[in-house]
Structure 1
Amino acid sequence: MIGKRLNARYQLDQVIGDGGMATVYKAKDVILDRDVAVKVLRPEHGNDPEFIRRFHREAQAATSLAHPNVVSVYDAGEDKELHYIVMELVEGQTLKKYINENKPLSLTKVINIMTQLTDGIAHAHDNNIIHRDIKPQNILIDNEGTIKVTDFGIALASSSYTITHTMSVLGSVHYLSPEQARGGLVNEKSDIYSLGIVLYELVTGRVPFSGDTAVSVAIKHLQGEVPSPRKWNPNLPQSFENVILKAMARDPKYRYKTVKDMQLDIETALLESRRGERRFVIPTIDEEHTRAIPNITTEAQLKRMKKEQQPMKPNNKKAFIFFSILFFLILSTVFASIVFPKILSVNDVDVPNVVGMNEAQAKIVLNKYDLQLKTQEVYDNTVPVGQIIEQIPNADIAVKEGSSIKVKVSLGKKPIILDRFVGQTKESIEETLSQLGITNYEFVEEVNENYPENIVFDQEPGFGERFSLETDVLTLYVSVKQPTFPIDNLIGLSQEDVYRYMNDKNLSIIHQEQYSDTIEKGYVIAQNPGFGTEVERGTEIEVVFSKGPNPNQPITVYKEIKINIPNQSNNETYDIQISYSDANHENSLFISETISETTTYTVPLTINPNSTGSYKVYINGNMKDEKVFRYEDEKNR
């Protein structure tokens, strides 16, 4: 398939994803000159009308969605029985891979990811589309941190397979809702359950249910209790765990009503007002009522009950029915005339003032007046988080008991979208943060060789992410220069001492060795850089250690030559010549002179291993002496 061009437009370049239903290629749209992703239905499904119909339905569903957190679908078509969907190419990775590489994630990052993810799913639900296969493998995160939901409708196209049919389905079973596992009705709340599992994995780095087979995992969804995420992440606030437990309630009626409700609970999970929150527990209701059965104590009672159970005669039965209806109508009329006016009469109450209270306080106050509380959460730059901003009706207005009082509850200041601070100086960023009203920030200094000193090289949360002015903390990483220090004098130190010094100073050693006649084996002969040079941590230091004397190096011996002159009183003279051969000379003249008395000469001979040195003595032109010296003999003297 690589190199194939679909409908003379989409050039398939490389495989970037593969599943049981389709293969995804990076491709080139040669008409619009842009990179795209092309999903091609596997050939083995190309003749299955059900697969084709559902594959097309996926394309239609995704095409109807236009949201920054949903992968855009550009086109769909068929080329010689190859069915394909053309989508936006996302440069990044799956959320599954991101979790594996970055766990544990900070709660701020988790909130950012889940806010984007729930935005995308909520948009789908608003368009009457249920994803049915939400899992980190179907969620992409691009290089800028933007979340993209993909693979809408895959679960539908795979529904003709059992949960143990393929490994791709086995992967999905970890995120199935109980109703999907039992083959029941799937709706928006099924997606909410799957979102709860994704959130579980984001805060713990693992899925709640695992097993050897898909069936064993599905059974845990149906029967097992959700393992507490705080078991794996003890620092997780109870408010966060409550979001997971509510989203993953086995009975859909106890889950969030909408994805937006879940999103709001996530975004407010770290608010001060939610500290000390009690653990979410699904209420248990005893739906079975005990019915009283009369005791039968006498034979007369037994006979009377049997008689009552005997069928009536036809005439008596008709009369009984007629008089029963008549009696019921009369009784109903009397009851209505006496009771209904009292029931239909509802007392008026004056609405109390709940502005400035939190939601819990307002409920207590309104319950005293038999009034209901209906909340709407909004951002407000002046009212603290959790406080009621306004109410409708206003205080002191008369309403009927049981009426609903609508209130707006403050979410605090509206989050801002963070600028890109990477590449800026610390001072310029501080000025920008002041203008934006960001006071919760910190600078962390770290050595970074790729950035100049005092320049920010990373930020958390990242560029383009939402940032709460009240609850979030902005961390900015600033590049600092590596500190330097003078290196010690290492010459004469032992190898053990040198390596200890290098480890203490976090220096890297380049170990070299050479022979030395003066420095003991294992001790330092030389170093580079030299003593006192300023170096940084991590600098490579070249250290030369002694190997001791070279066992095979040349030796130099000194040979004395004594020339005796007889009858020195006669003043006779003698012409003396001495020549020598060694490692550096060949029959070279050592001395040539005339003497009249006994004289001693010292000849230096440098002899290589397995070689010799020699000298010759000439008196008046005649050779009088010659000696040869072997390396081995001289070395062992």
Structure 2
Amino acid sequence: MTQPRLLGGRYELDGVIGRGGMAEVYRARDLRLDRVVAIKTLRSDLARDPTFQARFRREAQSAASLNHPSVIAVYDTGEDTLDGNPVPYIVMEYVEGRTLRDVLQEEHRIAPERALQMTDGILRALDYSHRGGIVHRDIKPANVMLTASGEVKVMDFGIARALADSAATMTATAQVIGTAQYLSPEQARGERVDARSDIYSTGCVLYELMTGRPPFQGDSPVAIAYQHVREEPIPPSQLDPSIPQYAEAIVLKALTKDANYRYQSAAEMRADIQRASQGMPVSAPTMAMNAGTQVMQGGPRTQAMRPSSTMGYDLPPAQYAEPERDEGNGKKVALWALVGVLAVGAIVALFMIFSNGGGSDNGNQVTMPSDIVGSDQATAKQELVSLGFVDGNIQIKHKTDDSADKGQVLDVDPAPQTKIDKTKLATTQVVLTVSTGKPKVTVPSVKSMSEDDAKSALESAGLKAGPTQTISSTTVPKGSVVKSDPVSGSKVEKGTEVTLYISSGPGKTLVPNEVGKSVDDAKSDLRSHGFRYSINYVDVPAGQADGRVMQQTPSEGETANRGSTVTLTVSRAQQDQPTPPGSGVPTPPWGGGGNNDN
């Protein structure tokens, strides 16, 4: 019989439940905690690069800090070997359900109202992660789960950054083509991304849910990325006239090329979806308000217009096309030749991004990586050394920053995207500005405060009030705080999230059976169940059990509030009384043998 494969000496793999171009996902059992988990194992060829390994660990650990109902939890990360090659893996919450990719394959398209509900779930997860400083970078249908109960859960937070930073992933595989369909324009240009990049990708997913196809399609990642940067999506209502204007307005605003004109946060986009669900006007402009794309009459000739974009916003001047002038066929040909050259140049630039990850301009230069800022000091130094910089030439400057963790790189000189000749790497001085960490604050005592007062006290101390938990308490009134986590008096970083435990009152519980027990055992058992007790003693004849519970009120199996009193009736055996002298049966003078031997 074949032995099940064991990862990390702890996780017993059951079977493959999903495959992708980058990884396989297994159903597995955590032997230590006896629970079912999902384990994603990455291809071993992606883990041979030590820089990649460091990034992967960093991003996985960052994702593990997320704790939200709409986020698939990351429990653990590790590395095992297979055929002598390292195999990194991520241990995740196991969820019964389907990915949105599976849903689309089965249903092809989703009704707009339901699609907006699914998108709202994605945005809930993103709003939480963005407030924690984590950008997903790879929102797509394959990374969104729909549970059996219809809840939306997002997975693979942060992992995309580790993958995107590895040149090995930027090959023209089907997986990359799939991912490219959801890239933001700034990702396609190799620029630094923020939370608004996730908004764009979410817009791509919403577009596909409603129309059955992504906003842009092509034969290669380069072709698709070019469209994300330069072309406007077809309005969804042109593909399906039944799509309402408010749904189209929301998706097109999310797909605005310029991030400054998109929804600026997941919360803002959620608010528009919620307004739509309540029949209220949305903030995004509808096509009726838009004076953009127009069909020109008079044959195939197309006039370039100063557009407002299909999203209803003026495009930045750099995106305007120079109007064509009808000054003869020669000038038209020259103009179209120029347009062709520019298009080819853009495609070549995008190809360089996808083939080299933006890290090298040519064979003689090295580009300072963008991901240095935001990484930890050790990882940044390791990455710089791997590019050819000398460790001894990397200087560290420290700076206090309330928004950055201790050891996080705040700035680098030379700046990101600076190109440096390889011949000068050995003598180039690099300065990393590193955060000394957030200041420590003391968790205040909030016991017995109202929930609102406790939250105010936490905010005054520079802390955040996290999700509340409800617990029963016999000493703290209902609605007041029983305790906090971290506990009061502990030192934590400024901005730490504190969980408040709110009293639901004493709470009811079953009364245990104490009849027949010794009084000491009964008292101990009642205390362990949260009850008080009172004792009534009843005299019983000598010879019967002493100190035993004969009766209890309330009886066994009844429910009562914790902290209430259980009355025990306990036996008290009477003592034998000695016989007074001269009373009773006289003793024969011979000692009472009862026989007369005369």
Measured against the shorter chain, the TM-score band is 0.3 to 0.5
Structure ranking higher on relative contact order (CA contacts 8 Å, 6+ apart):
2
Q: Which has the larger radius of gyration?
A: 1
Of Structure 1 and Structure 2, the greater strand share is in 1
